[in-house]
Amino acid sequence: MLRGRAFSPADGPDQPKVAILSESAAEYYWPGQDPIGKRMLGAGDTTTVVGVAPDSRYRDLREPRRAIYYPLAQSVFPFAPTNLLVRATGSPAALVPTVRRVLAEVAPGVILANGSTFESYLDAPLAQPRLNALLLAVFAAAATVLAAIGLFGVMATMVRQRTRELGVRMALGATARDIRDLVVGRGLTIALAGAAAGLAGALAANRLLAAMLFEVSPADAVSLVAVALFLLAVALIATLIPARSSTRIDPVVALRVDG
């Protein structure tokens, strides 16, 4: 919310100029003080601070920057194109004719050159970040599928190579659940080792990707834990298929297999 006070300077050539500061600008110029009523000197003119506004990202979508807002009537370039932001309910496009009509009534010398939604206004600056996120998501999905296929192949090979051992275990009284737990446990052990190595690698690599992150720390614990749990779930699914096939081993047939 904007905070400030009304300011009505007297008309005349010595009319003082006013401005509104962003919160970061107010803290930069007057740390720990109330900037309202303070004066700034710039370009030979004295400007009075009449309000403080929240920081915005209109210059850079990633980080808010210090900003000073001047009335349009005090602008050095009063005829420069200006953006008008209108909050609306319903279809924004349907309000464009209404905005044009109101502008013609209150400011006959001002025209609305272009009207568009805020989403379309953000399409250009967000195009590259969205492309980067899409590419990373595609590569991550491909890596997850390859890892799942690889783990499935490893566990299937292990079950095939240890058929005689599994048969002996079943002949000595091991149940199907015991055999399944043995195979799943081996697969999850491999997955846990991979997850630990992946977390260490992510902590190191994420610092290189810090420029691509938005309001997320490179060491965000929630994101890292969520990804690790997701990968463990994928590993569990990839391991269950060989584990179920191991429970169907016939001990008699397995014991006839040459070691």
Give per-residue pLDDT as tens, 24-70. Answer: 999 999 998 889 988 887 655 788 899 999 988 777 777 788 888 88
Average pLDDT, the chain: 78
pLDDT at 52: 92
Pick the residue with more confidence: 257 or 207? 207
Which of 83, 129, 149, 79 has its CA nearest to residue 109? 79
pLDDT at 189 over 60: yes
Apex 117 CA angle, 65 and 215, nearest 5: 35
pLDDT at 138: 93
- State the average pLDDT over residues 209-233: 77
- State the average pLDDT over residues 202-231: 75
- State the average pLDDT over residues 131-136: 87
- State the average pLDDT over residues 115-141: 84
- Please tell me the pTM assigned to this model: 0.59
DSSP for 152-186, please give it.
HHHHHHHHHHTHHHHHHHHHTT--HHHHHHHHHHH
Pick the residue with more confidence: 249 or 51? 51
- State the average pLDDT over residues 196-222: 74
Residue pointed to by tokens 């924004």: 92
Please state, as a whole number, how many other Cβ atoms lie within 10 Å of the Cβ of residue 155: 24
Domain ranges of the chain: 3-80, 83-116, 127-255
pLDDT band at 11 (very low <50, low <70, confident <90, very high): very low
Q: What whole-number distance in Å separates Cα of residue 3 and Cα of residue 51?
A: 5
pLDDT band at 127 (very low <50, low <70, confident <90, very high): confident
pLDDT at 233 over 80: yes
pLDDT band at 243 (very low <50, low <70, confident <90, very high): confident
Check if the beta carbon of residue 228 is closer than 8 Å to that of residue 141: no
Express as a percent the part of the chain with pLDDT over 70. 81
pLDDT at 142: 92
C-alpha R_g of the chain: 33
pLDDT at 10: 42
